[in-house]
Amino acid sequence: MRVKTEAKRESILEIASQVFQEMGYERTSMDEIAARMGGSKVTLYGYFPSKQHLFLEVANYAGMRQLGPAFDELVPGSDDLPRMLRRFGEKFLSFVCTPEAAGTYRMVVAQSGQSDIGRSFFELGPKRGEDLIAAFLQSEMDSGRLKKADASIAAMQLSALLTAETQHRTLMGVTASHTRQQIKQMVDRAVAVFMDAYTP
């Protein structure tokens, strides 16, 4: 029963993600999601108590599924730290640049002035990511492979460098997509700047 329940939950998240991307947060209704999944609102509310809760779960589900492999790259003690950061950066930026990630971010920003959805999204997603990066960088600082500094700030700086050339353009629709080669080049430049700043 547990497996079936988790499978149903993931199915709802997949369907809800499609609806949110198509219709935006405001126009999406639980009725529409229930209709698309071929079930009742009672079933839907049994898994997710509100539209906001469902939206946050959709965003978190997509983010962790896509970014999990990126964070898996951050294993302390590598003999080639820049190479590891580049592998992480390419997977990280490949997700951030997707239309789905950009669409979700736009929806969160649009709702942030009207509810606590922005704060909740930040705590569930970006903050958790920053904490994982910071923990990795702290271990590298402790071992002497990086300069001693505030690891939390270093994590924010690394994230900012990785997205510096593309995030605003993607969010504003200036750039629709990037090739793997473009992403690799952007990551190479970002990691070079980061290592220049933090190499002992």
Query: pLDDT for 159-172, tens place per residue?
Result: 999 999 998 888 88
The listed range with the strongest mean pLDDT (96-105, 149-158, 159-168) is 149-158
CB proximity list for 67: less than 8 A, separation 6 or greater: 91, 92, 95, 129
* 156's tokens: 């924010």
- Angle (CA) 152 155 160, round 5°: 130
Domains of the chain: 1-49 (1.10.10.60), 52-198 (1.10.357.10)
From CA 25, how far away is CA 51, in angstroms rounded? Answer: 9
Structure tokens at 135: 């923990």
Higher pLDDT, 63 or 158: 158
Distance CA 134, CA 153 (A): 8
Interval 41-79: pLDDT, tens: 898 999 999 999 999 999 888 888 888 999 999 999 888
pTM for the model? 0.85
Residue 149 DSSP symbol: S
79 Cβ partners below 8 Å, 6+ apart? Answer: none
